A = this chain, B = another copy of it.
Amino acid sequence: MTTTEAGTTAPSEHGHDHATHGYHKQKDEHLKRLRRIEGQIRGLQRMVDEDVYCIDILTQVSASTKALQSFALQLLEEHLRHCVADAAVKGGDEIEAKVEEATKAIARLLRT
């Protein structure tokens, strides 16, 4: 469903080759998590379709939101460990930009 030919992805504007993206090594694990969340969302559709009691649907929404946030936290941890730490080691201004960018991403997660 998400097949991509090798090389079709535009070169990253972030000055990384793919191998250094934080989450690269956990790719399979991430895809498995996301497919599970996709299944939860389809489960929600079934629940609405079958007129399941509102509160039971809300419980399932909470579970899906929690799963999305766990995914986000894992991604963020890998991002800090790789992209942010690499910028710190490299020195120069990049670390400032990386930290500001990460903080804004955390703020967006908090506000949802």
Chain B residues, CB < 8 A from A2: 42, 45-46, 49-50
Contact with B along A53-95 (1 / 0, CB 8 A): 1110111011011101101110111111101111111010001
Q: Majority SS of interface residues in chain A?
A: helix
Chain B residues, CB < 8 A from A66: 112
Oligomer: number of copies? 4
Distance of A45 Cα from B103 Cα, bound (Å): 23
Contact assessment for B80 and A9 in the assembled complex, using a CB-CB cutoff below 8 Å: no
Task: Tell which of B18, B80, B87 touches A103, judged by Cβ atoms closer than 8 Å.
Answer: B80
Nearest opposing residue in chain B for A57, CB measure: B75
Chain B residues, CB < 8 A from A13: 53
